Structure 1
Amino acid sequence: MNSPIFPSAVDTSDAASQLPFGNAFAELPPAFYTHLQPTPLRAPYLVGISTDAAALIGLDPAMANSSSFVDVFTGNTIARDSKPLAAVYSGHQFGVWAGQLGDGRAILLGDLPARDGGRMELQLKGAGQTPYSRMGDGRAVLRSSIREFLCSEAMAALGIPTTRALAVTGSDQQVRRETMETTAVVTRMSPSFIRFGSFEHWYYNKRHDELKLLADKVIANFYPEFLGAENPYRELLAEVTRRTAHLMAQWQAVGFMHGVMNTDNMSILGLTLDYGPFGFMEAFDARHICNHTDQQGRYSYQMQPRIGQWNCFALGQALLPLIGSVEDTEVALSQYEAQFAARNDALLHAKLGLTTHQPDDDKLFESMFAILQAGHVDFTLFFRRLSDLQADSKAGDEPLRDLFIERPAFDAWAEQYRARLRQESSQDAPRKLAMDASNPKYVLRNYLAQVAIDKAQNKDFSEVAKLQEILRRPFDEQPEHDKYADLPPDWASHLEVSCSS
């Protein structure tokens, strides 16, 4: 394990500008990116830092108290070894080929050694215009930056593959969205920010040499086990397909909705990437759309698994010149449905505390989702309270039963569930422990994020820090924070998130 880059005993006042950045992505030819400097923000200040993310790169969180840290991770100062750049990529947006896109407001500072022996790229989101900004101003606002910061770290605590967020800095400098809003920069971390759209860019521009260079770099750095394979590009597609299928199942299991599953927002490492108009399911509706820009419902909750597969097919199309045949490409892609189904099934069994598999389990799951849909029952509360249901008694039913308007429908399903528990001689106490480790008590509900944002806009960052701490342990009871697990207030139903930021 690597030691901290700057241990606490070392003066950290200017440490951020001395960070030993590498620049692995810049080893690709210049056609893959544009070197440029971030655009400074006026009088930046720290909004929040993730000590967990900092630990991944051995960075002393005390460094965040320095002006050097704020300046480097706002883009006002360039660290000694950093060679900032914006990457080019393309993509399908809402199912339509959009052509060239690229880092329109994100600037890669470089990469730092990670404690797991690999490296982590650090990217500033909101650091100013790039050649790929199109009509945008290259800025992010405090509202969306806090949401991405909190959700990146919350997803990691839930055990879901994700990019990470090191810090958020803010400024009183304003930009116009629907209204005038203050600006911010979130520092994102990932082993790589390469996307499906990074490969599509070269395929649709008929530049197969660059396509091969990119694929070879991804394989060498992240999938070295395929270097000696008969067809390493087919193996790459198969592994990314598997990871994507598993990621979709994990999203569904916690009720997470991404909101903008464009191919340029899909990670080649199978990570949750680009937190824009996301949401966690509250009143259950399989057709729920968390992004009010998505008027056709392409990225609704129930569509996410199918869109994940669609995006893998788009990646397969882009890799076809390297794989060499349609048949081999189809073989790599063909596992998606089985991989999703198997992971989804395993997660549902865990959520219901079932340790065996029985022929009628699908019917049990289907009837469960039917009563959730009919009653628009809160997703997170239902699964968390389900662990209190006892196999041979209705004594613990009331908190769960109270979530339903149609109590007889719940009662009928509960008896079906109890019979299933008795079938495998399930014991209440160990089952509850296992279920509580699979069903979070705390998720980043939109209204919780909004309360933190409202306070932060008045330079009170205490709620950002409090939510961070609660969401670090989403499966723990934390009785002192029970109110953060309550049903959302009435005003929360009026909150909307969109592609704007």
Structure 2
Amino acid sequence: MSEFTVDNSLVRLGAPYSQACLPTSVPAPQWIAFNTELAAQLALPKHYWQTDTGLALFSGNNLPDWVQSAAHAYAGHQFGHFVPQLGDGRALLLAEVLDETGQRFDIQLKGAGRTPFSRRGDGRAPLGPVLREYLVSEAMHALGVPTTRALAAVLTGDWLQRDTAEPGAIITRVAKSHIRIGSFQYIAEHGDIEQLKTFADYVINRHYPHCAASNTPYLALLESVVEAQANLIAKWMSLGFIHGVMNTDNMSIAGETIDYGPCAFMDSFNPAQVFSFIDKQGRYAWGNQPRIGSWNLARLTECLLPLVNPEQELAVAEATAVLQKFSTLNETAFLQLMAAKIGLQQATAADEVLIRDYLHLMTENKADFTLAFRLLSQSINDINAGAAQLFGDKQAWQSWAERWQLRLAEQAINATEVQQQMDSTNPAVIARNHQIANAIEQATAQGDLTLFNRLHKALATPFTLAKANADLGLAPNAEQCIANTFCGT
């Protein structure tokens, strides 16, 4: 194992970017899960790997000297309404670690107790949301989606009063950073241009060092974040994923998926699908995610304007031109991802119609999103096989499938290769709502992690599904469908 290297750069910036804070000790920590693959990547010393020493660290009970724990400060628009101070109310940055390639990662406890930003909260996390974030974040990583990751999860030994009494837990998550659009909003709200410049320079150096060589580094920073978010949201949508709470304080500057609260993968396809119980207006529905991504980036743009150009009109014009690239970048990325899902090597403008028509067919027939693409490879040689079973309107299915087969025939690639490519693109298993709910229920009510562990293992290889786990790849029946998800605060 290579050397474990720590460098706590955000903490060195000091106020107002973060505040030093210690976790609150817990009475009786126990292991839930530990990610050895990620620990090895970080070169985390093995005496922390599922040991009592590691349990003391990841519960916050005993911090080694390389830890400089701090809560990060940020603001944010929550469902469109600006809150000038939010911050890490139940999360603590432990340290920044450099992996063997020199890539910097935050190690952060979530659910470790009150911080200066907790407001009226207790800073704790119930077991259910910890299990959900562990499963979904690791599933997203296996699917190739940029995301925070789960390094460890522990029970705290105490109980939290939410709607009912629930076991407390802490998740240790790893990210390129936990800096958000809301981080810039927090500093911009204070109106100190020097602090804003210091922070922007820090973010450039940490995440987008190529921008430093630009004649317009802050415009280049905006362009880099726009591109990262455009690609991230396209990837989400190609998997039927709904983030659920795309507030500006939940949108990472690094282009990673962050803050898995009321997130969910769709079952039956519906572009207006919402799961979050608090999203009554459908602001963060599947089909709205690009629009909200652009809206959030406009808020970042507002923060950066004083750095882009001292002349406000010129700053607005220059930054707006960059921001307007989002839609094209997102639509192009989404088209290519969706083309690959139906077996096309390179999408054309005509393919956009073919893809849109398939999504419409799925909507009209309430077809399961994941299965409609996973089973499609079986329909290449037999129009009545594979995905055909998902469509009650057989005539509409056959009409579309014939067009699709003709399009595939134009490619200089045989059917077997197309099938292999599709099966390596379309997952056989995703973190389905009903399976996660069952795993949480078993763990919470019975202390049984069997289903959690089964899911975790199966989701690590989402494009292959062992026969013994065939049930994990099934869509829910009517009684199993989950209508709402919750943030878990």
Among 316, 322, 326, the residue aligned to 2:316 = 326
- Give the counterpart of 1:459 among 447, 460, 465: 447
Aligned-pair CA distance for 1:425: 5.1
Amino acid aligned to 2:430: V
Secondary structure of the residue aligned to 2:128 is helix
CA contact (8 A) 1:447 1:495 kept: no
1:61 deviates by 6.2
Q: Which amino acid aligns with 2:411?
A: E
Whether the 8 Å CA contact 2:339–2:355 is kept in 1: the answer is no
**In structure 2, what is the equivalent of residue 416 of structure 1?**
403
AA partner of residue 360 (structure 1): A
Shift of 1:199: 0.4
Return the alpha-carbon distance in structure 2 between the equivalents of residues 357 and 172 of structure 1: 53
| Conserved? CA contact 2:27–2:158, under 8 Å | yes
Q: Which residue, out of 230, 233, 243, partners 2:228?
A: 243
> Which residue is equivalent to 1:402?
389
- 1:494 is displaced (CA, Å) by 4.1
Instruction: Provide the C-alpha distance between the structure 2 equivalents of 1:47 and 1:177, rounded to a whole number of angstroms.
Output: 21
Which residue of structure 2 aligns with residue 440 of structure 1? 427
Equivalence for 2:356: 366
- Does residue 339 in structure 1 map to residue 329 in structure 2? yes
Q: Secondary structure at the match of 2:22?
A: coil
Q: Aligned partners of 2:57 and 2:122: how far apart in 1?
A: 20
Task: Give the RMSD, CA atoms, in angstroms.
Answer: 1.6
What does the per-residue CA deviation read over 1:240-268, in whole Å, with 9 as the maximum and x for residues that have no partner?
A: 00010000100000011100000000111
Give the alignment partner of residue 135 of structure 1, picking from 113, 117, 120.
120
Counterpart of 2:44 in structure 1 is 59
What secondary structure is seen at the aligned counterpart in 2 of 1:447? helix
Determine if the alignment matches structure 1 residue 427 to structure 2 residue 408.
no
Moved more, 235-244 or 89-98: 89-98
Instruction: Give the whole-Å Cα distance in 2 for the aligned partners of 1:119 and 1:494.
Output: 37
Gaps of 5+ in 2: 310-314
1:193-239 residue CA offsets vs partner (Å, 9 max, x unmatched): 11000001111221221111110001112211111211100000001
Q: Take 1:365 and 1:201, find their aligned partners in 2: how far apart are those partners?
A: 41
SS in 2 for 1:490: coil
Match in the other structure for 2:371? 381
Q: What's the CA shift string for 1:463-489, capped at 9, x where partnerless?
A: 222212111110124233211101214
Q: How does 1:268-307 map to 2 (within 5 A)?
A: 268-307=253-292
| Structure 1 residue aligned with 2:34 | 49
* Residues in 1 aligned to 2:194 and 2:340: alpha-carbon distance in whole angstroms: 46
Does the 8 A contact of 2:33 with 2:152 survive in 1?
yes
Deviations 1:324-369 (A, max 9, x none): 1112211221211111111111101100111243442122112111
Q: Is the 8 A contact 2:336 2:347 kept in 1?
A: no
Task: Specify which of 100, 109, 112 is matched with residue 115 of structure 1.
Answer: 100
1:173 equivalent in alignment to 2:173? no
SS at match of 1:272: coil
AA matched with 1:120 = F
TM (normalized to structure 1)? 0.93
**Are residues 1:310 and 2:295 paired?**
yes
Stretch moving more, 33-42 or 472-481:
472-481
Corresponding residue for residue 473 of structure 2:
485
Q: Match for 1:271: what amino acid?
A: E
Cα distance, 1:30 vs structure 2: 2.2
Number of the residue aligned with 1:10? none
Match of 1:151 in 2: 136
Residue aligned with 1:474, SS? coil
- Residue 344 of structure 2 corresponds to 354
Cα distance in 2 for residues equivalent to 1:39 and 1:359: 56
For 1:32 and 1:482, locate their aligned partners in 2 and report how far apart those are by CA, in whole Å. Answer: 48
Alpha-carbon distance in 2 for matches of 1:4, 1:383: 43
SS at structure 2 position matched to 1:424: coil
Measured at CA, do residues 234 and 162 of structure 1 come closer, stay the same or move farther in structure 2, by a change above 3 Å?
same
- Does the 8 Å contact 2:48/2:55 carry over to 1? no
- How far has the Cα of 1:119 moved from its partner? 2.2
Q: What displacement does 1:29 show?
A: 2.7
Q: What's the TM-score, normalizing by structure 2? A: 0.95
- Counterpart residue identity of residue 220, structure 2: E
8 Å CA contact retained: 1:72, 1:78: yes
Match of 2:188 among 203, 211, 224: 203
| Match status 1:3 vs 2:9 | no
Q: Which moved more, 1:114-123 or 1:160-169?
A: 114-123
SS in 2 for 1:34: strand
Query: Given the superposition, is the C-alpha separation of residues 190 and 417 from structure 1 closer, same or farther in structure 2, using an over 3 Å criterion?
Result: same
1:51 touches 1:61 (CA, 8 Å); kept in 2? no
Amino acid at match of 1:39: T
Task: Write the distance in 2 (CA, Å) between the matches of 1:116 and 1:496.
Answer: 41
Matched, 1:215 2:203: no
Which deviates further from its counterpart, 397-406 or 53-62? 53-62
Counterpart CA distance in 2 for 1:58 and 1:409 is 54
Structure 1 residue 418: Cα displacement: 1.4
Instruction: Give the stretch that moved more between structures: 98-107 or 330-339.
Output: 330-339
Cα distance in structure 2, aligned partners of 1:133 and 1:422: 59
Contact 2:365-2:393 at 8 Å conserved across structures: yes
Alpha-carbon distance in 1 for matches of 2:333, 2:175: 24
Q: Aligned letter for 2:452? A: V
Indicate how the Cα distance of structure 1 residues 495 and 53 shifts in structure 2: closer, same or farther if over 3 A, else same.
farther
Distance in 1 between the 2:278 and 2:169 partners? Answer: 23
1:169, 1:289 → 2: CA distance?
A: 30
Q: Which residue identity is paired with 2:437?
A: Q
How many residue pairs get aligned? The number is: 483
Q: Which amino acid aligns with 2:433?
A: N
Distance 2:434 2:47 in 1: 30
1:387 partner SS: helix
Unaligned runs of 5+ in 1: 6-19
Comparing 418-427 with 359-368, greater Cα deviation is found at 418-427
Give aligned-pair identity as a percent: 36
Deviation at 1:105, TM superposition (A): 0.3
Q: Distance in 1 between matches of 2:296 and 2:420?
A: 37
Pick which of 308-317 and 22-31 moved more: 22-31
